[in-house]
A and B are shown apart, each in its own frame.
Chain A
Amino acid sequence: MAQSKYATEYDGVVKTMQMYIDGGRQGKSALMRPAFHPDASFFGYAGGNLATGTQFLFEWIDKNGPAPDIQPRFVSVDILESIAVVRLEIDGWSGAVSGSGVRMSDIFTLLKTPEGWRIIQKAFHWHA
């Protein structure tokens, strides 16, 4: 893959991920919904219980409200032509549901659609 092509794809992936981060920071699922594929899935344990489905995520984000101090870091961005894997570490989650100073490890898989990169799954580990 030519360097310029890689940078373009990388920026496309990060742009989509930024919608997720912005939605989380402002506590507004409406900001992150466009980043997700209609068939996207969501998996992870929250307080020992398995949470599934993007609906759970979106409702959680809205209920949690703003988390102005989140510190996101991209650990890895791997692009395999039409699919991508992003490892995101977020520290400093706060809000009505999460409590304060929470750390989250996320794995996002993305699919390159004609409309751009879309998250097809978010899996998370909540560091209790």
Chain B
Amino acid sequence: MVSSPVSMGTPEKNASETLESWKQIAAHLNRSERTVRRWEAAEGLPVRRREHQRQDTVFAYSNEIDEWNRRRIRTQLRPAPITTVSESRRSDGPLPGEQAGRPTANRYLAEHDAITRTIDLYIAGARGGRGDLMRPAFHPEATIAGFCFGVEYSGSIEHLFRWIDENGPASKIEPRFARIEIFETIAIVHLEVQGWSGKLAGANARISEVFALLKRDGEWLITQKTFHWHDS
């Protein structure tokens, strides 16, 4: 597969500061703790967890938080349009609501960022072991397909949410965007995930995931997750 690696803002320990509590994460973003907790629950703010016997503690890498925040701001400044316009018409001039003279590349960036934000919700749910966190990333009719230890899993995406809940936190997952391709109203994302752990995943599992997405009312929703589970 031809890949164009896109950095997720992965933890480079020397370049990034570790934020060790909700308080520090909130201070870093200059928001209240309540707001950043809501952002994690609803918008996939990349908060990690250390698993302990009694209670998990949260932490975050400042560069991941900053990258997420940049995407959030960009998306708010330029919400993806509700209707899509073909390339040919796009080159004819500014779209309704679009400022004249704005480079058309910005439209691509807005779509690209909207897609990574949707996948961020998936990653946040996977990391937290919480199906409810990732549910908003999916179309109601979304499906899953793939093999896990020789058993085929295909059908409703509800299978995935249940699996995620049952698997529990996977605080060390390392996701990488291997490919993001957008064709007007549809898109494909190839995500490589390593270090998946949990009650069902075991330790340090590697999964290749392909997501198909559909643009609906200006929002990108996953319509399918297909995966290949690499047996170690």
Genuine A/B complex:
yes
Closest residue on chain B to residue A124 by CB atoms: B186
Among B141, B145, B183, B228, point to the contact of A81 (Cβ < 8 A).
B228
* Cβ distance B139 to chain A, nearest Cβ, rounded Å: 8
B1 within 8 A of A: yes
CB of B155 within 8 Å of the partner chain? yes
Chain A residues near B155 (CB-CB < 8 A): 39
Return chain A residues, CB-CB under 8 Å to B228: 80-83
Contact A44 B214 (CB under 8 A): yes
Interface residue range, chain B: 20 to 34
B136 at the interface (CB under 8 A from A): no
B188 in complex: contacting residue of A39, A82, A85, CB < 8 Å: A85
Q: A37-B145, A39-B143 known; A105 and B184 CB under 8 Å?
A: yes
Q: Do A111 and B186 touch (CB < 8 A)?
A: no
Distance between Cα atoms of A79 and B228 in the complex (Å): 10
Tell me whether A83 and B152 are in contact (CB under 8 A).
no
Across the interface, do B1 and A107 meet the contact criterion of CB distance under 8 Å?
A: no
Q: Nearest CB to that of B86 among chain A residues?
A: A127
Q: Does B194 sit at the interface, judged by CB under 8 A? A: no
Q: How far is B85's CA from A125's CA once the two chains are assembled, in angstroms?
A: 12
Contact with A along B76-100 (1 / 0, CB 8 A): 0000000100100000000000000
CB neighbors of A among B185-212 (8 A): 185-186, 188, 190, 208, 210, 212
Interface string of B130-162 (1 = CB under 8 A from A): 000000000101110111000010110000000
Known contacts A39-B154, A43-B214, A125-B183: A78-B1 contact under CB 8 Å: yes
Chain A residues with Cβ under 8 A from B154's Cβ?
A: 37, 39, 111, 120
Q: Give Cα A95–Cα B186 distance, bound, in whole angstroms.
A: 24
- Of B42-50, B53-61, B219-227, the one with at least 4 CB within 8 A of chain A: B219-227
* A123 and B186 contact, Cβ closer than 8 Å, known pairs A39-B154, A80-B210: yes
Flag if B223 contacts A123 (CB, 8 Å).
yes
Q: How far is the CB of A53 from chain B (nearest CB, A)?
A: 8
* A15 CA / B95 CA spacing, docked (Å): 42
- Chain B residues near A82: list those with CB within 8 A: 146-147, 228
Subset of 21 A-B contacts with CB under 8 Å: A39-B143, A43-B139, A44-B214, A45-B185, A78-B2, A80-B210, A82-B147, A83-B145, A83-B228, A85-B188, A109-B212, A109-B226, A111-B145, A111-B146, A111-B147, A111-B152, A120-B143, A121-B223, A121-B224, A125-B186, A128-B86
Extra pairs beyond A39-B143, A41-B141, A123-B212 (5, CB < 8 Å): A39-B155, A45-B185, A78-B1, A121-B143, A128-B86
